[in-house]
Chains A and B, each alone.
Chain A
């Protein structure tokens, strides 16, 4: 059984590290990206099984990252779960083509349930 690969996109190093540790503990392979452009590059390069996406990135907004991913045939099927501390997350997520949303701060169980729902684990 091949290891599922998750791309974590968050410009906050501590959050990225936290997510990496949580996912690692669960047996996922983790890729880290700290900006929108980096996330697109890693996605093209590694074709992850799922993307955990922050909304407020230094170079672009999560909505733009999503639009780029959805415009590329090789990437458009990848499920995206937004993980954000934005006060308007629910309203923003409603306008995006994403599969899930988890508000920061989160319960680990909630985050994992949202990921597993997409990966069918």
Chain B
């Protein structure tokens, strides 16, 4: 057995070490290079014969590209620590330029290394060698630097974004300040605990003072309120404490005796025990607006009166002629003409009423004078009356008993009339219209169902809007009817809705709260 097989012989450790995939250098304690792996030679572009037996710092001189020699210095420090403490030492990132062989020009190439120096201790505990392992991390460092650069760019962008957002916020505050000044709003902040306040000068100006007053609290405010508006103003404060929101519309008296309208809005702040401690808000002089409103109301009243007067005459005269037509032997054609004149006068009259109603909605005066109304009886009356006027359709009212709601009789009558008239208008002659009333808990619901052309889903929402006109239909009226109906129901604390589909009829329903004493 002169040639032992490799599998049974001891491995050639020198060869193993030199062929290992990692870059290793073995140094004697005096830092003489004892052994070096092929990988190491490849990464530093050197030959083994030039390294073995030489001291490491002789082999790797300072590179001219690294004048500060930080790479070498950190290696020297690291090796010194290993020798002193006899524990492994790591250089996380070491820059060291390597010199290309003279055949390749002998120039230097910047590289980045991670180096771990591990002491190999002999049986006596003394260092017999240092295993120095290096890893070329040039590429990952480059990537890291690229990422850092990207992050820097990113942060710069975000900083710019934040800065511009801040600038925009500031600009918005400036605009708000400007708007506040432009709107001539006064600002007030009432301390309810100490019965004092902080106000802007404009606040006191609105109450008729040229300068800020030294003393002002809630009672000072009430002392300025016009006597007839006192109760209302105190009610508003009481409800503000309960709801957290103050909204007052009232007249005040200036020190010079003149009367002004103000609009004050505010928010209440509470302590942990829910005691109101602070009220903060704005106040606006709305005298001019009130004047305009009253002039508008006056104009509408006059316009309506002036329009209704000639309509009364046209309608009355045509009706008078129709009533006596039989006696005079009026021709069919004349009779038809008179009927049309009479109907058109009614139409103008309804338009005028609708316009007035819209102005009442704007002024918040649509539903005045509430009383107890028997909705069941009202429904029967209106249906009977509409049936007489419209014999072309059958109005079928499901039996319903009395049901008391708190409301305005004329307005609720208008709602039912409008819904029934709409059902008649949009369904074929000879068809039936079903009207039902149902009570459930504290609500009563009235539904008017027709078998007409129906309303497609996309048009249903707009239906209750002002000036809406049904499509595919010749325009009739001002498109105010359902808008007014919705407002009347809303002001009675109720709701109105619609279920319909194209060509399968519509059901308009409204619900109202049943009068509390009748529950």
Residues of A within 8 A of B (CB): 12, 14-15, 18-19, 21-22, 25, 56, 85-88, 90-91, 94, 104-108
Contacts and interface: CB of A to CB of B under 8 A. Distances in A.
Contact of B311 (A86, A105, A107): A105
Interface residues of B, number: 24
A12 B301 contact: no
A56 B316 contact: no
Contact of A15 (B300, B312, B349, B368): B312
Main secondary structure of the interface of B (DSSP, over half): helix
Given A12-B309, A14-B310, A105-B345, A87 B316 contact: no
B319 A108 contact: yes
B302 to A, nearest CB: 9
Given A25-B324, A107-B319, A14 B313 contact: yes
B210 interface: no
Contacts, number: 60
Given A12-B309, A104-B312, A108-B320, 13 more contacts: A14-B309, A14-B313, A56-B305, A85-B304, A85-B308, A86-B301, A87-B301, A90-B369, A94-B369, A105-B349, A106-B315, A107-B319, A108-B319
A56 B298 CA distance: 13
Nearest to B321: A21
A87 B305 CA distance: 7
Interface string B344-361: 011001000000100000
B309 A21 contact: no
A25 B316 contact: no
A8 B305 CA distance: 18
Nearest to A84: B305
Contacts of A88: 301
Contacts of B304: 85, 87
Interface of B: 300-301, 304-305, 308-313, 315-317, 319-320, 323-324, 345-346, 349, 356, 368-369, 410
Nearest to A94: B369
Given A14-B313, A18-B313, A104-B312, A91 B305 contact: no
A25 B311 CA distance: 21
5 contacts: A22-B320, A85-B309, A90-B369, A108-B319, A108-B320
B320 to A, nearest CB: 6
Contacts of B310: 14
Contacts of A107: 319
A15 B313 contact: yes
Given A25-B324, A88-B301, A108-B323, A18 B317 contact: yes
Q: Which 4 A-B pairs have the closest CB atoms?
A: A85-B308, A105-B312, A104-B312, A18-B316
A91 B301 CA distance: 14
B343 to A, nearest CB: 12
A90 B320 contact: no
A15 B305 CA distance: 13
A21 B346 CA distance: 20
Contacts of B324: 25
Contacts of A90: 369, 410
Contacts of B311: 104-105
Nearest to B368: A91
Contacts of A108: 316, 319-320, 323
